[in-house]
């Protein structure tokens, strides 16, 4: 069983010690306005195609590797930021997430502490939705359909924030082949699907949506504290949809029509 024991809600004192929210030159958001591009323009088109989802050599829940077809879609080039989420809260009155410290966090840091329900609410407000697990993995691969990481087969700290000591602003590292940033490391990302460890046995071949029901939602991508094995593009994890963590954020997708 996977045991990524930092995927929990921890006391704020530990959060501060971990260096996840305290940054040099703190920048308050109270007087900042979010540009419209924060909501709709920072997306790229992922073309329709077939890829090998999962891994023949990974964890048991990544097997069997199987061919999956995904329709074309648009995906955010980066994780939803503190600034973007600030606008959402201001315009909707949605409850603030755990670990919400906009006076301390950089506006371009990925928002964290959001539950799956928070992420889905933001996506709906922005005219988008959360990616399916298949869409997420296909986009993360960046056109390298059998690679271990979004950029190739060897770990590279030039492409991702991992084995580090805290969150980095979005797009601080090189993008993958589709021009998408931070698909590995920085913060875990919510997906639309319910999680089931044996779901791949069904070998759903076209636009899979995940199990019909479940108790946990899928997380993908790994986070800043993760090691090489955990940021692999096929790696799967999960959390309760009501949970919020200092290392979990999200990004959105929308259909092409």
CA distance 159 to 138: 17
Q: How far apart are CA 134 and CA 189, in angstroms?
A: 13
- State the pLDDT at residue 246: 95
CATH class of the structural domain 12-255: alpha beta
- 68 CB neighbour count, 10 Å cutoff: 24
Structure confidence at residue 3 (pLDDT)? 57
Q: What whole-number distance in Å separates Cα of residue 86 and Cα of residue 102?
A: 8
Determine the pLDDT at residue 4: 56
Helix (H) or strand (E) holding 54: none
Quick one: pLDDT at residue 2? 67
Cβ neighbours, 10 Å, residue 254: 17
Report how far residue 102's alpha carbon sits from residue 83's, in angstroms, rounded to the nearest whole number.
8
Contacts of 54 (CB under 8 A, 6+ apart): 62, 63, 64, 65, 66, 200, 234
Please report the beta strands in the chain, taking only residues with DSSP state E, as ranges in sequence order.
Answer: 43-46, 49-53, 66-70, 73-76, 188-194, 217-220, 237-239, 248-249, 253-255
- Strand, coil or helix: 45: strand
Phi, psi of 90 (to 5 degrees): -65, -40
What is the chain's pLDDT, residue by residue, as a tens digit (257 residues)? 465 544 543 333 233 223 333 222 223 333 333 333 443 459 999 999 999 999 999 999 999 999 999 999 999 999 999 999 999 999 999 999 989 998 888 999 999 999 999 999 999 999 999 999 999 999 999 999 889 999 999 999 999 999 999 999 999 999 999 999 999 999 999 999 999 999 999 999 999 999 999 999 999 999 999 999 999 999 999 999 999 999 999 999 999 98
pLDDT score of 32: 34
Question: Quick one: which H or E segment has residue 102?
Answer: none
Helices 82-92 and 116-125, axial angle in degrees (round to 10): 80
């Amino acid at each position: 069983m996977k045991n990524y024991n930092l995927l929990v809600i921890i006391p704020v004192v530990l959060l501060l010690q971990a260096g996840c929210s305290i940054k040099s030159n703190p920048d308050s958001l109270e007087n900042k306005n979010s540009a419209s591009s924060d909501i709709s323009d920072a997306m790229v088109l992922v073309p329709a195609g077939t890829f090998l989802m999962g891994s023949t050599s990974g964890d048991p829940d990544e097997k069997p590797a199987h061919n999956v077809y995904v329709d074309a879609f648009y995906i955010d080039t980066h994780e939803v930021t503190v600034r973007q989420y600030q606008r959402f809260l201001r315009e909707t009155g949605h409850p603030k997430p755990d670990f919400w410290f906009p006076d301390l966090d950089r506006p371009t840091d990925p928002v964290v502490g959001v539950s799956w329900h928070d992420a889905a609410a933001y996506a709906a407000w922005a005219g988008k939705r959360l990616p399916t697990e298949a869409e997420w993995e296909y986009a993360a691969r960046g056109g390298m359909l059998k690679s271990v990481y979004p950029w190739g087969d060897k770990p590279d700290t030039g492409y991702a924030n991992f084995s580090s000591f805290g969150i980095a602003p979005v797009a601080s590292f090189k993008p993958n082949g589709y021009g998408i940033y931070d698909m590995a490391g920085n913060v875990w990302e919510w997906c639309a699907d319910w999680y089931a460890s044996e779901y791949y046995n069904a070998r759903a071949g076209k636009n899979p949506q995940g199990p019909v029901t479940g108790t946990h939602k899928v997380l993908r991508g790994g986070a800043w504290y993760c090691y090489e094995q955990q940021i692999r593009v096929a790696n799967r994890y999960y959390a309760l949809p009501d949970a919020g963590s200092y290392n979990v954020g999200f990004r959105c997708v929308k259909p092409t029509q």
